Chain A
Amino acid sequence: MSILRFWAATVRLYKNMITTHAEQTQSDVRRETSITVNGSLRTLRVEPRTTLLDALRDELALTGPKKSCDRGECGACTVHIEGRRILSCMTLAAMHDGQRITTIEGLESNDSLHPLQEMFIEHDGFQCGFCTSGQIMSAVAMIEEAKAGWPSAATTDVTKPFTMNDLSKAEIRERMSGNLCRCPCYPNIVAAVAQVAGRR
């Protein structure tokens, strides 16, 4: 039974490789897409199937956003579109023509680190570092969401206005739950975020 299953899986694997190759050679339907990345206008020619993550990494050599699960489950690919945090692995580059994108490479200004980058170092917010750029990009936008009064699943009463005084550690943990760390540096990450948000 298990040999049969293994064989069936192998056949399917090869079949998929053949189909994928045929699909790849079938059409060149690349689209011209202009995006403003970290302040500079960049024009790319990408296939519709190219994710924003692949475009950033492979076309623009911005390897800060990481490709980890590639399924929207880990947060390592987090970047900002028009200032909002999103997962670049779950969207197509060609859908963002004309938009403004910020990656971790665009966070520092005048050669000095962003306060969150400083605090990640200060609080030992990482070990292997693979999730770090996603964590930091997520946290920067998350603090803005909290400042704008957005509630979260940790908010006791969503019918009341949310203020920065309500941004407890439990709130930070809930709001950062889309970023997984396997090392896992969660307490230190929360401490770094809390300090930057003025919630120590």
Chain B
Amino acid sequence: MHAFTLSRPTDISAAIVAHAQNAQLAFIAGGTDLIGLMKDRVTLPDHLLDINRLPDMAQIEALSDGGLRIGALARMSDVAANPDVRSRFPVIAESLLFAASGQLRNMATIGGNIMQRTRCAYFRDEDDLPCNKRRPGSGCSARYGLNRNHAIFGWSDECVATHPSDLAVALSALDANVLVRGPGGQRSIPFTEFHLLPGNTAERDNVLKRGDLILAIEVPARSEGRASHYFKLRDRQSYEFALVSAAVAVAADRRRIGVVRIAMGGVAHKPWRLTATESALRGAPLDDTGALKAAIAASFAEAHPLAHNAFKIELAQRVVLRALETAGARI
């Protein structure tokens, strides 16, 4: 790795000021993504600020109204094992358990998880191939290169990468909020607005600015949260990023669908909400597979495959159906 300096402050305000003032400074928490990016010379910060000693940022709180507040420094494994997370929002626990490995889940944090950079092989290539996310203006090697693992929704000619986080898909479906503190104070960002589509600013993954520190994720109480499920399909059975995944939460009255929430992973630059499908599913009989399939198809009219990933369109619909049926069985 390149040489850098390291500080380990215990004061949140000092950390925020340092980040706002120095564009060459990066926060480090679990380090499981950042250290890999530095080893591959994708990012070369002059200074790392270790946020692990900042106070009160690792708690997992079950709120009395039925919601959750998950500190940014909570480890993936602790959140996945937490009884309140498992009973209130199984989709969150499952999205975490289907990600990474036992060792990585003990290191990686919730805040860092949603900040992960894409796994696009061109972005991470040690040879520094053209990539607008890595070097703005250099081009996109995947657009006409190998793009089997890339986006089918919301991509641009500048970037066709997908977001790698499983947890983010679950949080998007649940309309969670990202609690952020910056130089101007504290604010709450709706999860569906946190990540960005690539457009012509592929280098920007999310709306955070210099000096912004994620404090916590807030999941509002959702009665449909109990009947939720995360289904992930990968090229190998374990320890792999998603080819396609779906997070579903559903409520039903006499087996007719009421509130339903669906987000997909592995298909876009951000977790992809299936809003057209959610509307089409309202009132549909939960046990009528034909009706479910038709409603799911409603969101795929706007899918645009690349040269090597047209298979994802059919696969993604099957994944959503499976996730919906499994979540429905939990009602």
Residues of B within 8 A of A158 (CB): 80, 86, 90, 93-94, 97
Contact: B238 with A153, CB < 8 Å?
yes
Contact: A142 with B2, CB < 8 Å?
no
A74-125 CB contacts (< 8 Å) to partner B: 75, 78, 84-87, 90-92, 94-95, 97
Residues of B within 8 A of A85 (CB): 102-103, 106
Q: Which residues of B are interface residues toward A (Cβ below 8 A)? A: 1-6, 8, 28, 30-32, 35-36, 39, 41, 48, 50, 52, 77, 80-81, 83, 86-87, 90, 93-94, 97-98, 100-104, 106-107, 127-128, 226, 237-239, 330
Contact: B81 with A149, CB < 8 Å?
yes
Contact: B86 with A150, CB < 8 Å?
no
Residues of A within 8 A of B128 (CB): 12
Complex Cα distance A78/B127, Å?
Answer: 28
Q: Closest 3 CB pairs between A and B?
A: A178-B101, A48-B6, A177-B238
> Which residue of chain B lies nearest to A29 when distances are taken between CB atoms in the complex?
B5
Contact: B97 with A155, CB < 8 Å?
yes
Residues of B within 8 A of A176 (CB): 102
Contact: B81 with A148, CB < 8 Å?
yes
Residues of A within 8 A of B226 (CB): 159
Contact: A151 with B31, CB < 8 Å?
no
Given contacts A9-B127, A95-B8, A159-B87, whether A86 and B2 have CB atoms under 8 Å apart is no
Complex Cα distance A23/B239, Å?
Answer: 34
> Which residue of chain A lies nearest to B29 when distances are taken between CB atoms in the complex?
A95
Residues of B within 8 A of A166 (CB): none
Contact: B36 with A71, CB < 8 Å?
yes
Contact: A92 with B35, CB < 8 Å?
yes
Residues of A within 8 A of B41 (CB): 16
A60-74 CB contacts (< 8 Å) to partner B: 70-72
Contact: A178 with B104, CB < 8 Å?
yes
Residues of B within 8 A of A9 (CB): 127
Complex Cα distance A70/B35, Å?
Answer: 10
Residues of A within 8 A of B237 (CB): 177
Complex Cα distance A51/B97, Å?
Answer: 26
Given contacts A78-B103, A90-B31, whether A150 and B5 have CB atoms under 8 Å apart is no
